[in-house]
Structure 1
Amino acid sequence: MNLIQKYFEAFNRFGNNEAFSLNDEIYTYREFLLLVQGSRKALESQPGYEPQTPVGVLCNERVETYAAVFAIWFSGGIFVPLDADAPKMLNEELVKKHQIKYLFYASENADSFSFDNAKIICNREVSVKETAPLFQWQESHTVYVLNTSGSTGVPKSVPITLKNLSAFIDGFVEKFPELSASDKFLQTYELTADASFTGYLVPFLLGATVYSVPHSNFKPFAVAKILSAKPITWVKATPTLLACLRPFFSSLHLPGLKHFHFGGEALPADLINEWRSHVPNAEISNGYGPTETTITSTIFKCLPGRVLKEKNNVVSIGKPFKNVRIHIQKIDGEDGVGELYIGGAQMMEGYWFAEEQPFKILETDGEQQRFYPTGDKVTIDADGDLYFMGRLNDQVKINGYRVDLVEIENGVRKVVPVGGNVAAIAAEKSPGMKQLVVFVENFKGDEKEIMEKMALFFPKFKIPEKIVGIPVFPVNRSGKTDKKKLAADFYLNSKQ
């Protein structure tokens, strides 16, 4: 039985279980399956539709959006998530690039949307009892395609096959064998981010309940409200989202929370140590994985009461999943630190629409194997746990010196009096001249004092010229710190 068949079987087997909750509206697995089947019928009735063609979904937080994903998979299609709130021109480009002919959109104003070469399928409140044989999936078939900017900023199309996704699910479930149908998952990520898959693919396989965060002008408030009111046992979130929850920490005591899982960014240890007293029974886990290697490739787990493993105040990213192979490629001039290469069953076959592919061929275990070079620097300890040490391409030139922005952020975290979000950028000082600027959440202290402390362990060219305190960090659609917004705001303020 392949993974897609397992989902169909689970939806039937757990028919009376609560599958989905949004704004106190509950759908059982049986009701959810009817929505899936209604969406599938709407797709398959379109003229010219064939399996293994890309089908777009304009994603919003409605149960029909999730139903569209499984309707596409049950029909053998390729799921391509698009941001419903993104500029139409951007979505037009993606529709054209992927030759998308059909787009699901569950919204009251779906009729007002139009694309030159794609038809909108509104699956709002679609529900049928009809069943049809599932598409006969092969491991090499593509299940979804995500667009990622990559290290160059040029969007790349990352296709993930059934083999890749099955390997991820297999590895994830092995790491969390205690998860069951009784668990309540809080899905906090935007559905265009691969991290969102963990929040619903894992619970739907188990017959557990997914709680979705309704659209809100301030997501942390909506998340805090759900955590306070609902019996959530599992959360996955970005470190930035947790940092934004800090004003609510004093009102949040969640002894029923069993797992708090992080991913997408470097995880500050001081932030977690502050948070752990509010989730006294929760295991803390920190996942790592590029889109190209299917959602999460390595994970660090820390049981309640145990000491977090960290370096430079950044929590370990742990050990690889069972179907993941790693290689640390030595970097000249950096003792004990290398670039992380990832291979194995979770690694994509290659970018779509790309003449050049990123893979490196290495001989391991007596055979030639492909690896994806992540561009991330890591070190490894005697226990085999990995630590993120910055980006190879997160380096900028300041007055002729190469400076790693992650190293600067870690340096500030060492000396800033209150833990929180930290972001370093290279801002234009004058034409052709850059300056180091560091933003610190809720910082109201003396920036000169911070600079003096950093001067004790950093050379002069690595000392920021400005340290800016801001009350709330801007967040992008993936829930990560929006450095582009920080840089733009700093530029505008500096011109005033």
Structure 2
Amino acid sequence: MASATSAAAERYVGPPPPDGGSDFDAQPVRSVDVPVESDGQPSGIAGAHSDSAAESTASVGAFVDAATAAVRDAFAAADAARLTAHEDSGAGWDAEAAVRIPLEQAVVRARVNATDGGVSGRTLHAGLFAHAAAHPDAAALIWEIAGGEERVLSYRQLAGEALAVAGALRAAGVEPGDAVAVQLPKGSEQIVATVGVLAAGAVYVPIGFDQPAARRAEIIRTGAVVAAVTAGAEVPQVRTLALSDARVYQEPLELPVFPDPESIAYVLFTSGSTGQPKGVEVPHRAAMNTIDDVNERFEIGSADRALALSALEFDLSVYDIFGLFSVGGAVVALDEGQRGEPARWLELARRHRISVLNCVPSLLDMLLTAAAGQRLDSLRMVILGGDWVDVALPGRLRQVAPDCRFAGLGGATETAIHSTICEVFDARVPVEWSAVPYGTPLRNVRCRVVGPAGHDCPDWVTGELWIGGEGVATGYRNDPDRTADRFVTHEGLRWYRTGDLARYLPDGTLEFLGRADHQVKIRGYRVELGEVESALRALPGVRYAIAAVIGSAAPKLTAVVVGVDGVTLNADALLAAAADLLPAYMIPTRIELLSELPFTPNGKPDRRAIVALLSAGEQVSAFVSPRTDLERALVDIVAAVLEREQVGVTDDFFALGGDSVLATAVVARVRDWLDSPNTVVADFFAARSVAGLARRLLDREQRTGTQGRLDAVARMYLEISSMTDDEVLAQH
């Protein structure tokens, strides 16, 4: 276990350790506030533009001593000024510190945020119609019907069908700027309908084909939807068009409508914290900013073909469709029945020589597992987003597609698909990464990491990720209060407050640390689930790890883990190894080993299903009496601390009402009363039970060659503890 733990410790990027020094008389550190201007520079500092995407993968190596001193001195100076200003009232202790980041860090931030570039000013569908005029017979949309028979729409045919749909919408009273729902099964028909809605100058609102009726009704109401394109089913309260009729409508629009780039292109509904879906309004300008950068950066062109894996209501689908149409490439569409069949994806990728894949990490993982070492030589670019990117994926991809480029992108629906990029070259993943980091901003995008007082956080310090620039959405549909809360203006630039936790590394790389709303309180401690997951993923053999809290009266931190193929994991061993990476209160009470994670339709881990699974697995174990003198002594100590009549050796200490304070009391008694000074609180957190703690103590005894000593001390303890005070005094 020691070697596994040390390897994990190398992979886990935790907060930088303090240097232990106390020399605050070092050379003064220059520091500045960092208002990031619209040109990406902090006030008074000239930054250099990034020369290549390679800068986004700069090494995140050892923390530089000078940076440590800089952060330390910045905080020290701010604290001194704050407390001096309030020394009479004492109010300084409660005031927010206006910490200024050091100049050296400000220069790096300015450099990575110097992203100004061209803006095409095009709408999402402009490229498709341009290519329909220039290359009308080129393949635009490819799919297969039952039996594997191929169907193809050329650019001319797709444009013609889209204009027919637009004409049908116009005849139904749809005007430019109106919202139109697209409620169709996944496949080529979805894409035809979506392009048709845009050609009418309208806004498309995807509604999952399998959405519950109540949620569908809420989306239509909040989205101010006036019409819907379906497979034939009527949608209550709106005008409904059957696509089969609309695509052959005899009075198509003569020309597509190309609205102002600031006009809304689509509204995607995501889960809201109140339980009500929230609709994100994304303008053409924002979506095209992302598409143009990705296409130019990776030289995506008319020869490329993309496999459209993502659901239409998930924002990665925007690039799947319009990223390729904007450059004259072809989209290979899956139908509804193929969504969960990676073996089928593999067939399609081979048969149609897919060159571009843009999806969430879990879908790539499924595809690579289905490939089982077979080659996909046509694949030349993989773009992952929407979730944590496992550090094993670049290496696994290289085995299947040796010449393929690999990039992890970060962002939010509210910032138009992707906002940051980290390209991994030649599958070289630094050992300290527990996940591929967010990297650096895309073109015309800015990123801040902001503390509670609204100031930029120094390197290594966790804060909320703010994303600004051309990719920022308009706001939330018919929700001005939520829009005002999440979309803010700072230093003349509009920003979206993501709710993601992140931190800057010294080279300007952004590291994603999880969601702020995934912070929970366990036994009085605030715990970030993302940090727990990051540590568990760093353990050898772990492929996925998801942490969750179950229970309300006595909430418990738990986790599920999926191992890499061919590796057998042991939950107890993982808990023991986690004790070397996490503070005691952040170690899960139990780990459940799964063969696969449950996923949402968008390919993200289904946290609700995981909580349900973990809750269902909470069973009261049968009572097991102590079997040895050591176990009897430990039961006596634990029962006394918990003030319980009965404690079984396999009972979980924390399930019985234990917490970190009581665990400390148990360990203190074990150290003193069982003469075991090397026992630490982390031992008990990893062990969870009397039996587990006994095993750890005996293992340590065996390693030191003092077998039998603990049992002898335990017998003496039991003998003395059973005596009355008079009997104890009589022994002296």
State whether structure 2 residue 546 is matched by structure 1 residue 423: yes
Q: Give deviations 1:187-207, integer Å, cap 9, x for gaps.
A: 110000111111111111111
TM normalised by structure 1 equals 0.90
Tell me if the contact between 1:52 and 1:78 (Cα under 8 Å) persists in the aligned partners. Answer: yes
Relative to structure 1, the CA distance from residue 270 to residue 53 in structure 2 (aligned partners, 3 Å threshold; closer, same or farther) is same
List per-residue Cα deviations over 1:427-466 (Å, max 9, x = no partner).
12xx511112211124742211111111112122111111
Q: CA deviation at 1:306?
A: 5.2
Q: Residues 192-341 of structure 1: matches in 2 within 5 Å?
A: 192-216=313-337, 218-303=340-425, 305=426, 307-308=428-429, 312-330=433-451, 335-341=460-466
Q: Which residue of the other structure, out of 161, 167, 170, is the alignment partner of 2:289?
A: 167
Amino acid corresponding to residue 528 of structure 2 in structure 1: D
User: How far did residue 128 of structure 1 move?
Assistant: 6.0
Specify the alignment match of 1:12 in structure 2.
Answer: 133
Structure-2 separation of matches of 1:452 and 1:495: 22
| Matches of 2:277 and 2:522, distance apart in 1 | 27
Deviations 1:378-434 (A, max 9, x none): 22334432221222221111122111111111111122x424222111112xx5111
Paired residue secondary structure (2:521)? strand
SS of equivalent residue, structure 1 residue 410: helix
In the alignment, the residues of structure 2 paired with residue 330 and residue 311 of structure 1 have an alpha-carbon distance, to the nearest angstrom, of 25
Cα deviations by residue, 1:344-395 (Å, 9 ceiling, x for unpaired)? 12112222222322133322xxxx3221111222223344322212222211
CA distance in 2: counterparts of 1:5 and 1:207, whole angstroms: 11
Alignment of 1:9-158 (within 5 A): 9-23=130-144, 24-46=150-172, 48-105=173-230, 107=231, 110=232, 113-124=233-244, 126-127=247-248, 130-150=252-272, 153-158=275-280
Q: Contact between 1:61 and 1:215, CA under 8 Å: does it hold in 2?
A: yes
Shift of 1:153: 4.8
Deviations 1:62-109 (A, max 9, x none): 32221111211111111111011111222122112223221111x3xx
Say if 1:310 and 1:343 are closer, same or farther in 2 by CA, change over 3 A.
farther
Structure 1 residue 457 and structure 2 residue 557: aligned? no
Structure 2 vs 1, CA of residues 405 and 153 (structure 1 numbering), >3 Å: closer, same or farther?
farther
Amino acid paired to 1:420:
R
Give the superposition deviation at 1:331.
Answer: 5.8
Deviations 1:6-34 (A, max 9, x none): 33212232211111111232221122122
1:183 aligned to 2:309? no
Structure whose residues are more often strand by fraction: 1
Q: Distance in 2 between matches of 1:9 and 1:127?
A: 22
Distance 1:57 1:284 in 2: 32
Residue equivalent to 1:433: 554
Match of 1:360 in 2: 488
Deviation per CA, 1:273-329: give whole Å up to 9, x if none. 2332222111001111111111111111233x2523575411022221212122221
Aligned residue type for 2:538: K
For 1:12 and 1:469, locate their aligned partners in 2 and report how far apart those are by CA, in whole Å: 55
Opposite residue 479 of structure 1, the aligned amino acid is G
Task: Give 5+ residue unaligned stretches, structure 1.
Answer: none
CA contact (8 A) 2:222 2:477 kept: no
Larger Rg: 2
Instruction: Say whether the 8 Å CA contact 1:35–1:64 is kept in structure 2.
Output: no
Q: Identify, as 1 or 2, the structure richer in helix.
A: 2
Distance (whole Å) between structure 2 residues aligned to residue 150 and residue 219 of structure 1: 30
Hey, what's the Cα distance between the residues in 2 that align with 1:224 and 1:6?
28
Q: CA RMSD in A?
A: 2.3
* One-letter code aligned to 1:123: L
Give SS of 2:219's match: helix
Identity percentage over the alignment?
A: 25
Q: Specify whether residues 422 and 90 from structure 1 end up closer, same or farther in structure 2 by C-alpha distance, changes over 3 A only.
A: same
Compute the displacement of 1:492 (Å). Answer: 2.9
Alpha-carbon distance, 1:171 to partner: 2.5
Say if 1:441 and 1:470, in contact at 8 Å, map to a contact too.
Answer: yes
Per the alignment, in what secondary structure is the counterpart of residue 517 of structure 2? coil
Aligned CA distance change for structure 1 residues 175 and 309 (closer, same or farther; 3 Å): farther
CA offset at residue 124 of structure 1? 2.1
Paired residues, number: 481
Change (3 A) 1:238 1:90: same
Does the CA-based 8 Å contact 1:36-1:127 persist in structure 2? Answer: no
Runs of 5+ consecutive residues of structure 2 not aligned to the other structure:
1-120, 145-149, 621-732
Mean alpha-carbon deviation: is it higher for 287-296 or for 18-27?
18-27
Contact residue 146 and residue 157 of structure 1 kept, 8 A = yes
- Preserved CA contact (<8 Å) 1:50 1:77: yes
**Which stretches of structure 1, 4 residues or more, deviate above 6 A after TM superposition?**
none
Aligned CA distance change for structure 1 residues 279 and 181 (closer, same or farther; 3 Å): same
Post-superposition offset of 1:493: 3.9
SS in 2 for 1:135: coil
